[in-house]
């Protein structure tokens, strides 16, 4: 198999993807599962707990994978999840 | 994770907090449409005092109560008629009609085609869930052929409306169709429509798992969304007459984007001309 040479951005070491802090308003969640299904980085998963509405709200599996695309916020019909960008550690 | 549970949702500024959480079912697309509209208004940094949101009867009619802007929940089918009055009385306002397919195209069909013909500067966002969700899932003017609803238990025998083709043929200056899964494109499209002058129309295909989906082998919202993901094809500026909505294929995208003098500008020009004594 030929070795593929991938081009690398010149500022790869300097550029850092943004890191997010995911906030879930658990009692608003109606358990449709859109945020879990359509998260491109698979950050969320269904939790075991049951909320006020009797459904399983999502929980954060690994927050460090989140790159603040905010698709979960956009696709949530219940205004129950949002992401806040964390200030970068050690200055950008 | 949720260290600070008291942090408010960024969209709450534009929502009447006392009415949230809303009553829509789990998996319903109406919340996504409302979010997209608010996001568009927020990103454009529009003055929310200069926006009037008019809605008709139906599940999505409740947006008039949820948005923290001037809003009115009109009688069945008369959202566009009311919006016409609002726009003519105060042309400074951005008038947005958010309503459903049953309201806008069944009982309100004539208001729609004539508002589009006159090219009044109102923006119409239509949530198309293929049936009358609020009253129990009767078949409506947009129910696809052979789909099952409570009043078509052996499959729908009527051909549905092609809403984008109807709007384009009636003379709308901006016509687009998206699904609730294409939230980014939908938000960008709403922004584009809000910045234009003239009659704009966006049809949003919305999942209705509880009422429509469960009779058509799509029990949950996720199944309906995955169906939309599978069958939707983006064909920008293709012929709206060929933009079908069927079980196997949904053509989405922008269809019409043009400029035309609007009704209220012509009206006020005529009033001015007549008052100056230059009648004819």
Residue A92 pLDDT greater than 80, yes or no? no
- Cβ-Cβ contacts under 8 Å, A23 against chain B: 2, 4-5, 7
**Residue B166 domain-assigned (yes or no):** yes
Q: Residue B37's domain is classified under what CATH number?
A: 3.40.50.970
Quote the pLDDT of residue A91. Answer: 52
Query: Is the ipTM of this structure higher than 0.90?
Result: no
**Residue A81 domain-assigned (yes or no):** yes
Q: Answer yes or no: do B12 and A79 touch at CB < 8 A.
A: yes
- Tally of structural domains, chain A: 1
Domain of residue A41 covers: 20-85
Q: How far is CA A15 from CA A12, B95, B150, in A?
A: 5, 43, 56
**Residue B279 domain-assigned (yes or no):** no
**Residue A6 domain-assigned (yes or no):** no
Task: Give me the percent of chain B exceeding a pLDDT of 90.
Answer: 91
- Tally of structural domains, chain B: 1
Q: How far is CA B88 from CA B103, B220, B263, B264, B266, in A?
A: 22, 43, 9, 6, 11
**Residue B43 domain-assigned (yes or no):** yes
> In the predicted model, what is the mean pLDDT of residues A50-77?
92
**Residue B181 domain-assigned (yes or no):** yes
pLDDT band at A87 (very low <50, low <70, confident <90, very high): confident
**Residue B275 domain-assigned (yes or no):** no
**Residue A34 domain-assigned (yes or no):** yes
- Cβ-Cβ contacts under 8 Å, A26 against chain B: 2
Report pLDDT digits (tens) over B229-273: 999 999 999 999 999 999 899 999 999 999 999 999 999 999 999
**Residue A2 domain-assigned (yes or no):** no
**Residue B18 domain-assigned (yes or no):** yes
Q: Does A56 touch chain B (CB under 8 A)?
A: no
Give dist(CA A61, CA A3) in Å, integer: 35
Report pLDDT digits (tens) over A60-73: 998 888 999 999 99
Q: Residue A69's domain is classified under what CATH number?
A: 3.30.70.20
* Tokens at B202, concatenated: 């966006």
Domain of residue B45 covers: 13-270
């Amino acid at each position: 198999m030929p070795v593929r040479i991938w081009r690398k951005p010149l500022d790869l070491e300097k550029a850092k993807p943004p890191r997010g802090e995911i906030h879930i308003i658990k009692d608003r969640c109606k358990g449709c599962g859109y945020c879990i299904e359509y998260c491109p980085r698979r950050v969320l998963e269904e939790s075991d707990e049951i909320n006020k509405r009797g459904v399983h709200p999502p929980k954060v599996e690994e927050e460090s994978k989140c790159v603040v695309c905010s698709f979960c916020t956009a696709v949530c019909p219940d205004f129950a999840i949002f992401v806040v960008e964390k200030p970068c550690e050690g200055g950008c | 994770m949720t260290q600070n549970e008291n942090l408010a949702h960024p969209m709450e500024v534009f929502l009447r907090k006392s009415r949230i959480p809303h009553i829509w079912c789990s998996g319903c697309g109406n919340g996504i449409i409302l979010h997209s509209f608010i996001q568009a208004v927020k990103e454009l940094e529009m003055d929310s005092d200069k926006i009037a949101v008019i809605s008709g009867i139906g599940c999505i009619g409740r947006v008039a109560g949820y948005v923290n802007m001037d809003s009115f929940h009109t009688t069945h089918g008369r959202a566009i008629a009311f919006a016409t009055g609002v726009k003519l009385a105060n042309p400074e306002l951005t008038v947005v009609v958010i309503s459903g397919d049953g309201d806008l195209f069944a009982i309100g069909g004539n208001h729609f085609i004539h508002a589009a013909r006159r090219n009044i500067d109102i923006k119409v966002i239509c949530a198309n869930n293929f049936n009358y969700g609020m009253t129990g899932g009767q078949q409506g003017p947009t129910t696809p052929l052979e789909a099952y609803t409570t009043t078509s238990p052996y499959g729908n025998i009527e051909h549905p409306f092609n809403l984008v083709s109807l709007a384009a043929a009636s003379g709308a200056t901006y016509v687009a169709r998206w699904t609730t899964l294409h939230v980014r494109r939908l938000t960008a499209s709403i922004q584009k429509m809000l910045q234009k002058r003239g009659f704009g129309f966006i049809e949003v295909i919305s999942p209705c798992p509880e009422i429509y989906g469960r009779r058509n082998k799509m029990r949950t919202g996720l199944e309906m969304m995955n169906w939309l993901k599978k069958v939707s094809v983006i064909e920008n500026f293709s012929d709206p007459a060929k933009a079908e909505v069927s079980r196997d294929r949904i053509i989405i995208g922008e269809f019409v984007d043009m400029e035309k003098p609007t009704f209220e500008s012509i009206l006020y020009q005529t009033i001015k001309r007549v008052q100056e004594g230059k009648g004819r």
